[in-house]
Structure 1
Amino acid sequence: MLRIVNRVLIGFVGLVLLLLGGSVLAVGLGAPPPSWWIHDGRHDVLLSDAERTRWQGSGWWWPTVIAALAVLVLLALWWLTAVLRRRRLAEVLVDTGDGEGALLRGRALEGVLASEAGELEGVAHAHAHLTGRRTAPEARVRLHLEPHVDPATVLHDLTARALTHARNSAGLARFPAEVRMKGVRHRAERVS
């Protein structure tokens, strides 16, 4: 959901900035200003003396401007952290049974899961990605299947072997997984 909101928001902001910047450039190069343009021509200043000093005597003006800008900065920082936040799980907490715990690198578990899934019959290529929390990881597995293989058989083998082995080795009670399968396309070859 956040990815969709992010794309829509970036697209909207980009479109507004493109229209505004293009209009400023066009008016600055001598094009007649559009009807909705706030200035009269290319030599008009952004803020006149009257516009700059209109609210100078009001005590509420500058605190309101500063508060609005602070809210905009906080929203921009929240957006930036949401975009830059790591989607990949860095580590998994493994229960060692002695009340302590061990940390398993997420990339190591992803690599083992992908290699075991890639060894299944009919799988041309496999990729694994861990998400969730370190105490409750979730897997996203993408499989590229050969044309002759039955997807239900590959899914059963993946669940019974690779995912079960990963769940047991990490000591997890449950290990939910989302599996996406895609058929591999081969180029036609000329046989003589």
Structure 2
Amino acid sequence: MSPHHVVNRTLLALCGAVLLAGGLLGVSSWSVVAERLPSWWPSAQPGSVLLDRAGLGELRHEGWWTPVVIAGAATVLLASLLVLWSQAAAGRAGPALLTLARPDVTIRTRALADALTRDVCALPSVADGRVRVRGGPEELRARIRLRLEPGAEPRAVLRQLSEETLAEARASVAPRRVRAEVRVSVRSHRARRAL
């Protein structure tokens, strides 16, 4: 199991435990439920609050209260931002290893991108190309940048890219879907100056 899956499940379990405890405390204030609870069970009185103004005022006069609240809020904020950033990075980077159509065969996403780059650069009328592969376990996104030779026919290059290179990639990583985004530019007619 990948580390971000572990983090996801841990956070989900913690949120579930907090919500369950809050729900049980809220339900315990109902008179029908409160009568059947054991004496040691913490129950709230109907119409009461967890911390009243007098109790909160006493805590504010304590020297440790304000720094603890600020540190706790800052820790929760930083942890939330870190989890959000790691989730976004994991979604962009995609899985490190992809299982291919043949059993027990895997390939790194970087190796797949390099192979696609070589195939793209080998297409006729393509001067240069670059491929990046990202995505998740169900769908991969291939960002392809093509620089065509002057006078090249973009339609023919794109047809060959779709029917040959991308078709082979889709067959290799099936049952994942491969969505391709292609950006095309043309190499300048100007010849390089000799030094």
Structure-1 residue corresponding to 2:97: 91
Matched-pair contact (CA < 8 Å) for 1:92–1:137: no
Distance 1:138 1:79, change over 3 A: closer
Distance 1:187 1:134, change over 3 A: same
TM-score, L = length of structure 2: 0.56
Which runs of no fewer than 5 residues in structure 1 stay unpaired? Answer: 1-54
State the aligned residue count. 133
Higher helix proportion: 2
Deviation at 1:56, TM superposition (A): 4.7
Q: Cα RMSD over matched residues?
A: 2.9
Matched-pair contact (CA < 8 Å) for 1:91–1:134: no
Matched-pair contact (CA < 8 Å) for 2:101–2:171: no
Structure-2 residue corresponding to 1:156: 159
Matched-pair contact (CA < 8 Å) for 1:141–1:177: yes
Per the alignment, in what secondary structure is the counterpart of residue 95 of structure 1? Answer: coil
Of 83, 105, 115, 1:78 maps to 83
State the distance in 2 between where 1:131 and 1:102 align: 19
**Letter matched to residue 95 of structure 1:** A
State the distance in 2 between where 1:82 and 1:133 align: 12
Matched-pair contact (CA < 8 Å) for 2:137–2:176: no
Distance 1:76 1:171, change over 3 A: closer
Distance 1:188 1:153, change over 3 A: same
Matched-pair contact (CA < 8 Å) for 2:99–2:106: yes
State the distance in 2 between where 1:120 and 1:59 align: 69
TM-score, L = length of structure 1: 0.57
Matched-pair contact (CA < 8 Å) for 1:106–1:130: yes
Which runs of no fewer than 5 residues in structure 2 stay unpaired? Answer: 1-59
User: Are residue 64 (structure 1) and residue 69 (structure 2) matched?
Assistant: yes
User: Are residue 140 (structure 1) and residue 143 (structure 2) matched?
Assistant: yes
Per the alignment, in what secondary structure is the counterpart of residue 147 of structure 2? Answer: strand
Matched-pair contact (CA < 8 Å) for 2:126–2:149: yes
State the distance in 1 between where 2:124 and 2:145 align: 15
Structure-2 residue corresponding to 1:116: 119
Q: Deviations over 1:141-191 (max 9, x none)?
A: 11111121121111111001110112223334632211111111242479x
**Letter matched to residue 99 of structure 2:** L
**Letter matched to residue 110 of structure 1:** A
Matched-pair contact (CA < 8 Å) for 1:93–1:135: no
**Letter matched to residue 97 of structure 2:** E
